[in-house]
Chain A
């Protein structure tokens, strides 16, 4: 499984990485903002994207819109503190498959990643 982690904080990237590694990630690519992530995603072809919302240069939300515009169906999880209802709805409309609220526990994030992947797989089968 190839995972792209986008967060402007190196700390958060390493925390997310420590959660995703035991889940069978074979390759992990990191990006510090949405623009950088878009450039990397084209070559990296991730199976899963974990993206922060609040980032300089290009926000996570803008990234998701642009990423979906490339036609990618890769599951995207927004990892964010934005837990308010309008924000959550905004993110899902932009094309996010699921979201995780910061702060999280490793177990909590793992559960969200696993259920997102399971849902994406069953969706792919149905289609």
Chain B
């Protein structure tokens, strides 16, 4: 089979495969091996590494040794994508993509514009979170009206975005949701918010799928659509709106774009847009930007009504239309250009002082803005009514005539709402109507928004900047280098001998600035934990509704900040623990009553700083953990065998059993917490973050799950050890204990290998120096210190003694990547600068132990002699 046909088959299988489909996984493994052997040549092919990596990921799945099979599968898919690109580029024409299989996949993905989709997915998560928050606020009965408007707006925006991406199913779901909001009135029944929350969940599920494969099919929407349709019994103003926007609204519709000037005479003709397929990418960006500009312009226009002469506000509006015109011209969007041009023309006259802005000018500009917004919605594929070309032309003419000082032809703004029934008046009526007829947008008619407040909002929007994480990481990295560089200078003996006070003072000052800089750059990656907590509020609400338990949710320390990677990684464990607390922790109302507790349970999420760490706790006031039952269950399941009388086992040790693999998975599966993931996964996730999780519980009173997390992934707690003249940092988390061995604990097996007897367990002693390929040290074992290390996951060498020459101490070190110059060294995860300025390598214990086992297959020096 030729490479490109193998690739083709491979990419299809990778999309179809599930993590437990061993047969397909083995086939994929074969394809990867075939491709790799085909590339073996005198020079290393760039795709080789990706192939090898993909192969090992597949092997992990086949051997069921992946920590997180779903994540591994996702990773595999990404790798195969990369391989496809690398090989496709080398082989000339790109291999066939999978897009042809997709029936409802995003059009941009089909055109290989996955960039737009992934950008949208990232934003979508935030948008859905915000929407959910708004819905919860509606439920709590606070400012229902304004939150409803907000909900509608958010749904609408999402719908538009889905339209651009040709996610038609999502579009119709969101459309139906929007209609449901419209029908809800000012006091929505709980049913409506429930259904809308279901929409949020559906969208999340879809977004997740899209994140895995750009052409993923949406989840089945039928039940959800039916539910949305049945909500309101009353009138439904949008009932007639089409489920899907007609083709002519689509930005991709292959229609001519009649220029307004050409079509001015044609009554009833509609404005339409043609977008060059190569511009689809740009269109999404353009729509986003244009909307931002328009909302800024609107804000400024409203302020201008209060302060007519304000030049800066005028400039803001001008810039908005000017930019839109420029990009629209580039994209050949005729109608947008002509409208923007007319507004710009008017504003330019005002800026030049040729025109004193009157209320009617502002009013017509606002109309222009609204019509522009309407056109953008059309391009976004929203289900909005078409715009008659005559309408557009009339408005353009009106604006231009006003700009040139002939106000008599100003059309009358009819309505504020562009998306429902806004239809600028036809030209024949324009001249007859009075320009001063009151409208919602009449100058001075919006006293509810004082200009100062509005301006503050504008400014606040400018105060956050989106920066790519890679740039941020690069900055943090470079600051790290700077710190090291500074330390090297400051500790240089030649520098230290400088007695001159001024130099020393300056040096100290630079040091302080650098430390501050480091702190600030680290804080760039910090985000408040609030977002994660909010999701839990929702979870508690859903679970309590499902179980019929009344559970009150509280959170403390929302503002505590954590590294964003940490926040992302604890999301799943949090969900699991909160579910557990709702499902198993808090008792049913009657049980609570019987126990003399308030009927409604309480779950508290808490975040706080403690000793350089962040502690996140999930506390419930439920039944608490029963040590007898945990012990009985662990023993019954065969995952624990007590090694001493039960009474001597501490509570903490007993509670710890909950985290053993196999403890929670086989339990009675409930809809809520029985998801096949056990607490062992929770612990593994948290330990992967170099954190710890423990349980405190009082029977009958409640349980606290306490996670201790590092503030940032950039700093590690470690034990500094000396081996020969080198220093190494062993992560404290990997260390079980350290011992100075007594001679009777050391054993020589089969003549030369050393083992230590530690608490009834025989552990091999590995010379750390030998493991790292530094050769054996001369120090005899008896005078060395043994560090007992462990890695989670079991298997060979999961626990071992590392012999080192000396333990220097424990300290926090900043992790420095070794950079490209030192490619991956087995057993070493990074470097660190110690307090004295010396460099130490940070050890990856799992890697060290793997190295030790590999070395065991080779005879050591002693054997050879």
Binding site for B on A (CB under 8 A): 83, 85, 88-89, 92-93, 96-99, 105-108, 110-111, 115, 119
Contacts and interface: CB of A to CB of B under 8 A. Distances in A.
Contacts of A107: 637-638, 662, 665-666
Given A97-B22, A107-B637, A85 B62 contact: yes
Given A105-B638, A111-B665, A83 B63 contact: yes
Interface in B1-58: 20-23, 25-26, 29
A80 to B, nearest CB: 13
B29 A89 contact: yes
Given A105-B638, A107-B637, A119 B21 contact: yes
Interface of B: 20-23, 25-26, 29, 59, 62-63, 637-639, 662, 665-666
Nearest to B20: A115
Contacts of B22: 92, 96-99
B662 A85 contact: no
A112 to B, nearest CB: 9
Contacts of B26: 89, 92-93
Given A89-B26, A89-B29, A92-B26, A108 B63 contact: no
Contacts of B20: 98, 115, 119
11 contacts: A85-B59, A85-B62, A89-B26, A92-B22, A92-B25, A96-B22, A98-B20, A99-B22, A107-B637, A111-B665, A119-B21
A89 B666 contact: no
Secondary structure call for the A interface: helix
A99 B25 CA distance: 14
B637 A85 contact: no
A83 B796 CA distance: 13
Per CB-CB distance, the 5 closest pairs between chain A and chain B, nearest first, are: A92-B26, A107-B666, A105-B638, A92-B22, A89-B26
Contacts of A108: 662
Contacts of A89: 26, 29, 62
Contacts of B637: 105, 107
A106 B62 contact: no
B641 to A, nearest CB: 12
A111 B666 contact: yes
Contacts of A93: 26
A111 B666 CA distance: 8
Nearest to A103: B638
A89 B25 CA distance: 9
Candidate in A83, A89, A97 with the most chain B CB atoms within 10 angstroms: A89
B64 to A, nearest CB: 9
B62 A92 contact: yes
A27 to B, nearest CB: 26
A93 B29 CA distance: 11
Contacts of B638: 105-107
Contacts of A106: 638
B662 A92 contact: no
Contacts of A97: 22-23
A115 B20 CA distance: 9
A6 B25 CA distance: 26
Contacts of B21: 119
